[in-house]
Structure 1
Amino acid sequence: MTDVPVLRTGSFLLRPMTYDDWPAYAELMASDRAQFMGGPYKASGAWALFCHDVAQWALFGHGALMIEEQATGACLGQVGINHGPLFPEKELGWLVYPGAEGRGVAFEAAESFRDWAFSSLKLTTLVSYIDPGNTRSIALAERLGATLDSAAPRNDPRDLVYRHVPQMAS
């Protein structure tokens, strides 16, 4: 079993998921905001994804971390490195809860987790699978320095694939 890290950024604590994180996660995944993540989901589908995020730590040595604001202790979203049968390559993904968008939360968390993956896991690449209509995530991937990789494998042929490489890590 891999120990789940706790990472500190300038503003956030990236920490292991707990059952207390489930209600806000389930609410987001049931909402229209989950459309870019294959949703909206019923509770059973959201629970399966929640458990998938936790289980990946034991299976692959990476998974998801919750984004907690250090100043308030509020959970603002999640960042994760996904893999397994749902993802052809290791994917850097993020989600931010309502009210936390537009504050740089996803950028700071994704940048920190990406850099951790490259240095600690010695990964040579990560991808982000993004729905073409998710303009905010496309902009974030580009801000992180990822480039569009039209030849990358994907489960959903409509997804855009943005590739992250270690040279981009700060």
Structure 2
Amino acid sequence: MPPAPTLHTKRLLLRPMRFSDWPAYATFMASERSHHMSGPFAADRAWGMFCADHAQWDLFGVGALMMEDRANGHCLGQVGINAGPFFPEHEIGWLVFPQAEGLGYAFEAASALRDWARDVRRLPSLVSYIHMDNARSRTLARRLGAQHDLAATSPAQNTEVYRHFGQPAPS
């Protein structure tokens, strides 16, 4: 599989994960902000998720990238494409650390990674699995051009599927 890419946007560097990203990631995952991802998570569970986000690049040619502010080098959150046995389709998701929320970083990062997935990785389809109570992520998915796909398979209860491009994977 090709290595994780490094992508540039106007304000962001989307780069492979580093161990130095772990403390901020762990703090986010231990907080109520991870509720829509079935959190909060204990450190051992968050560590497994962090490692899985990284390992997916070698296993599936997709995974997570950290959002870094190009102006000051601060890590602002994560955007990633998930694959594997627990995901019916390739799924793009995002998380934004509290200091960066509401500033358009998730839109900027997800737009760049979505376009990379379609144009470079040539994925046939891309969805977002969004908890029904997560109004901000539903709004962001629609802003990215995704449409609610009632026919798609969801990997969890209380989760809706928003399709960015392509057709549902065959059952």
In the alignment, is residue 69 of structure 1 matched against residue 69 of structure 2? yes
Q: Report the 3-state secondary structure (helix = DSSP H, G, I; strand = E; otherwise coil) of the residue aligned with 1:22.
A: helix
Give the 5 Å matches for 1:18-167.
18-165=18-165
Matches of 1:106 and 1:11, distance apart in 2: 11
- TM-score, normalized by length of structure 1? 0.95
Matches of 1:16 and 1:152, distance apart in 2: 30
Q: Which consecutive unaligned segments of at least 5 residues does structure 1 have?
A: none
Q: Report the 3-state secondary structure (helix = DSSP H, G, I; strand = E; otherwise coil) of the residue aligned with 2:98.
A: coil
**Deviation per residue, 1:98-141 (Å, 9 max, x gap):** 01111000000000000001011111210100011111100000
Matches of 1:58 and 1:164, distance apart in 2: 24
**Deviation per residue, 1:118-167 (Å, 9 max, x gap):** 0111112101000111111000000000000011111213101000017x
Greater displacement, 85-94 / 7-16:
85-94
Q: Would you say how many aligned residue pairs link Structure 1 and Structure 2?
A: 166
Q: Report the 3-state secondary structure (helix = DSSP H, G, I; strand = E; otherwise coil) of the residue aligned with 1:76.
A: strand
Q: Report the 3-state secondary structure (helix = DSSP H, G, I; strand = E; otherwise coil) of the residue aligned with 1:114.
A: helix
Q: Which consecutive unaligned segments of at least 5 residues does structure 2 have?
A: 167-171
* Percent identity for Structure 1 against Structure 2: 57
Matches of 2:156 and 2:145, distance apart in 1: 23
